[in-house]
Structure 1
């Protein structure tokens, strides 16, 4: 009897270990507040509560996230709306699994074109001929800035865009490697406090939009093979979102830990608004903007890229 019981216990332990291995996921995001709901879900044990062993992985450039998903370096990523749509348009079989953040007046005001010392930007045409660093060409901040330039009558082709990661912006702006960086908090406060330059334009506030910034995505193959994991992930994100929006202490602690920014700097501005529910119609505006910027070659069926 004892031998049988021991065998049963070992079998149960083996089964449990296999189950735990199957529920382990890695979530990739850049060093912004937009994946704060996943950060909170990790730090507050919400993922574990829902049966997931989740780990956050820092990705330098947002446009690298789709490739990381398809290579299985991460199972779920937080691409910007623009990076996701361009990847899908390019033939990558990705699906949206949950919402992360949306634009709102508060977060829009925290997005700027930050100008290095020695330059003065007074109006949109002053960006002509400047070298502008964006955290991913074709990513959220870049596409919004191009949209703003067009609305202000400035040809985006007259601006020299290069890719610059969020963590390296301060050093690059200080060295004069670029004239301007397209940044968000807490990086703007960090550069301002260091005396590296000034805000040249709050372009997102002027556009005043409410569409999704970032959402969580996965490969279609992985998502369809793991519906229970997706269900648990969604439940955890839905539970974490109100904490992001209403508890500054917990959200700031989680963001500071993941982005490796000081807690005081993170607390200086609220995180972007977390919205776990994503609707296909919310991406229609992005498709119109990207099509006008000739970033999309085909037609995207939003109903097919939204995982049911």
Structure 2
């Protein structure tokens, strides 16, 4: 059964959040500090993929605790599920692709991006995400995806928008792609078993597909923009207004974590084994993304235009309100 639309789910969470009052998860007076010696206890919703390796490293290295943040990381399937959890106060921060955040914002769901997340490498055939097919597949180009089943982790989101752009650029009909929703970690088996014809896979699942003989036929994120900001960390506007110091500390710690991950690729590969099921033998083959300090606004504007073209947004996203 397909997931309900983000607007419907989030609306339900908004009612819950309003009924529960406005205090944060610490029961604080709005400072963001809990009762344990000024420590702010925050939960962050993440996805078990390579994109979020920096925040796991940052927690391990003490970048968050040194700023008085006690971090708990909890996983979800994608931004469409994490957004309502943040809005409801279940999580104080979340990780989400930019399309999910723009969908939320255009549906009047109070979200605010606060820190950069992950970006494409911009290199065709050498990105941390790609449209992959199994060994021996007759599909050799994104043009061939018309009329085929393509797995993405969340329907009506960045996956179908970016895949459609790859199909469009290859000369195919993007309206004819049949999308199927699957978690990233289930995509290698679905490809190998022939349940789907292709899949938008990101690391570490992408390395698993390649180890099975699969190949990448297009790099969809790079097709949108060579500088595409794929995802960011965000909070609810209410939490940001009531807990500015906690948000500032989170931003600073995340920036330090992104910088550390960029300069320590071996540690990124190691930390992946602590929150994914990737076999160690595949680790050297992983393609790591870029973790810039700041989002690339021009690329987000391009993604927004493509989303409008696909009918994903009910109105044009207001990036001035959404971005830091």
TM-score normalized with structure 2 length: 0.82
Residue of structure 2 equivalent to 1:100: 117
Residue of structure 1 equivalent to 2:173: 155
Structure 1 residues 147 and 206, CA gap change in structure 2 (3 angstroms): closer
Give the match's secondary structure for 2:156: coil
The answer to whether the 8 Å contact 1:190/1:265 transfers is yes
- What CA distance in whole angstroms lies between the structure 2 residues aligned with 1:127 and 1:278? 30
Residue of structure 2 equivalent to 1:182: 200
**Which of 132, 138, 151 is matched with 1:120 structurally?**
138
Residue of structure 1 equivalent to 2:12: none
Residue of structure 2 equivalent to 1:72: 89
Residue of structure 2 equivalent to 1:11: none
The answer to whether the 8 Å contact 1:98/1:277 transfers is yes
Q: CA deviation at 1:207?
A: 4.9
Q: CA deviation at 1:178?
A: 1.3
1:175-214 equivalences under 5 Å are 175-195=193-213, 197-214=214-231
- What CA distance in whole angstroms lies between the structure 2 residues aligned with 1:39 and 1:59? 15
Give the match's secondary structure for 1:109: coil
Q: CA deviation at 1:279?
A: 6.0
1:57 paired to 2:74: yes
**Which of 271, 275, 278 is matched with 2:295 structurally?**
278
Q: CA deviation at 1:48?
A: 0.6
Q: CA deviation at 1:17?
A: 6.3
The answer to whether the 8 Å contact 2:123/2:226 transfers is no
- What CA distance in whole angstroms lies between the structure 1 residues aligned with 2:242 and 2:117? 22
Please report the RMSD computed on the Cα atoms of aligned residues, expressed in angstroms.
2.3
Structure 1 residues 54 and 183, CA gap change in structure 2 (3 angstroms): same
Structure 1 residues 66 and 269, CA gap change in structure 2 (3 angstroms): same
- What CA distance in whole angstroms lies between the structure 2 residues aligned with 1:201 and 1:279? 22
- What CA distance in whole angstroms lies between the structure 2 residues aligned with 1:240 and 1:133? 31
- What CA distance in whole angstroms lies between the structure 2 residues aligned with 1:274 and 1:108? 19
- What CA distance in whole angstroms lies between the structure 2 residues aligned with 1:153 and 1:243? 40
Give the match's secondary structure for 2:226: coil
- What CA distance in whole angstroms lies between the structure 2 residues aligned with 1:280 and 1:123? 29
The answer to whether the 8 Å contact 2:114/2:247 transfers is yes
Residue of structure 1 equivalent to 2:30: none
Aligned pair count reads 291
Residue of structure 1 equivalent to 2:187: 169
1:12-51 equivalences under 5 Å are 18-19=35-36, 23-51=40-68
The answer to whether the 8 Å contact 2:51/2:118 transfers is yes
- What CA distance in whole angstroms lies between the structure 2 residues aligned with 1:30 and 1:63? 11
- What CA distance in whole angstroms lies between the structure 1 residues aligned with 2:269 and 2:185? 17
Structure 1 residues 125 and 271, CA gap change in structure 2 (3 angstroms): closer
TM-score normalized with structure 1 length: 0.86
Structure 1 residues 171 and 86, CA gap change in structure 2 (3 angstroms): same
Structure 1 residues 306 and 122, CA gap change in structure 2 (3 angstroms): closer
Structure 1 residues 217 and 207, CA gap change in structure 2 (3 angstroms): closer
Listed one character per residue, the Cα deviations across residues 234-255 of structure 1 (whole Å, up to 9, x for unaligned) are: 1111111121111122222222
- What CA distance in whole angstroms lies between the structure 1 residues aligned with 2:226 and 2:157? 16
1:245 paired to 2:285: no
Per mean C-alpha deviation after superposition, the further-off stretch among 92-101 and 104-113 is 104-113
Per mean C-alpha deviation after superposition, the further-off stretch among 51-60 and 206-215 is 206-215
- What CA distance in whole angstroms lies between the structure 1 residues aligned with 2:169 and 2:34? 56
